[in-house]
Amino acid sequence: MLYKPSSEKEEVDRWKEVTLVYNSALKEVGTKLEILNDEFQHVHQYNPIEHIKSRLKTPESIVKKLKSKDLEATIENMVEHVNDIAGIRVICSFTSDIYRIAEMISGQNDLTVLAVKDYIENPKPSGYKSYHMLVTVPIFLSNKVVDAKVEIQIRTVAMDFWASLEHKIRYKFEGNAPEHIKTALIQCAKMVSQLDDEMLSLNNEISKL
């Protein structure tokens, strides 16, 4: 068939628009973070952000998440119920930087903070640590303004290293890793936490000198 039915074409067009909006949201928030980092460097001669990663959730991952919520795989459900379609990960050196960056993000007038999850003060049972913020950013299209959700994860380099390994293990074993591996991961998470504390303490001491 050379031409798709009108309804199917409309669905494809809607999907392209949604993808455009989320990609634009990643650019908007990413640029804001880079500007805040540059400003912090100018004022304090220090960069709290080591680097920034961004990603758009794949259609397969979106459908899988909707199914886990017992929801039909529609664009409406995707936009309404999947909060991490657009994700930005901010990697910094020290735990103190995490809260400093979160405060700077919260101070942006055109960003609305919808939710915060502090997995640093309250780590997950697996040992996972990170600071999550769900924000919306206005995207100005030619004929309308759309508020797009972006999940921001802020963590130290050490936390990110641990989370990357944990993700690989969870993916490989489909969430059912052997108990001895889970136990080892928890022990590694404690070591990462201790390392972050010691590095922060050392940095504070150097700053005083």
- The residue to which tokens 């999907």 are assigned: 15
Task: Domain ranges for the chain, please list them.
Answer: 6-158
The answer to whether residue 151 is catalytic is yes
Could you tell me the pLDDT band of residue 5, with boundaries at 50, 70 and 90?
very low
Could you tell me the pLDDT band of residue 9, with boundaries at 50, 70 and 90?
confident
DSSP letters for 24-39: HHHHHHHHHHHHHHHH
Could you tell me the pLDDT band of residue 169, with boundaries at 50, 70 and 90?
very high
Could you tell me the pLDDT band of residue 176, with boundaries at 50, 70 and 90?
confident
Q: What pLDDT, on the 0 to 100 scale, is given for residue 200?
A: 95
Q: What pLDDT, on the 0 to 100 scale, is given for residue 1?
A: 36
Q: What pLDDT, on the 0 to 100 scale, is given for residue 4?
A: 45
Distance separating the N- and C-terminal Cα atoms of the chain: 74
CB 151 within 8 A of CB 134: yes
Could you tell me the pLDDT band of residue 3, with boundaries at 50, 70 and 90?
very low
Of all residues in the chain, the percent with pLDDT exceeding 70 is 97
Q: What is the pLDDT of residues 60-109, one digit of tens each?
A: 999 999 999 999 999 999 999 999 999 999 999 999 999 999 999 999 99
Q: What pLDDT, on the 0 to 100 scale, is given for residue 22?
A: 97
Q: In the structure encoding, which two tokens stand for residue 68, read together?
A: 């886990």
Q: Does 3.30.460.10 match the CATH number of domain 6-158?
A: yes
CB 47 within 8 A of CB 104: no
Q: What pLDDT, on the 0 to 100 scale, is given for residue 170?
A: 86
Q: What pLDDT, on the 0 to 100 scale, is given for residue 101?
A: 96
- Check 8, 121, 151, 174 and give the catalytic one: 151
Q: What is the pLDDT of residues 116-156, one digit of tens each?
A: 999 999 999 999 999 999 999 999 999 999 999 999 999 99
Q: Report the distance separating Cα 110 and Cα 57, nearest Å.
A: 24
Query: Tell me, what amino acid is at 84?
Result: D
Q: What pLDDT, on the 0 to 100 scale, is given for residue 79?
A: 93
Q: What pLDDT, on the 0 to 100 scale, is given for residue 209?
A: 80
Could you tell me the pLDDT band of residue 159, with boundaries at 50, 70 and 90?
very high
Q: Report the distance separating Cα 35 and Cα 91, nearest Å.
A: 15
State mean pLDDT over 3-23. 79
Mean of pLDDT over the chain: 92
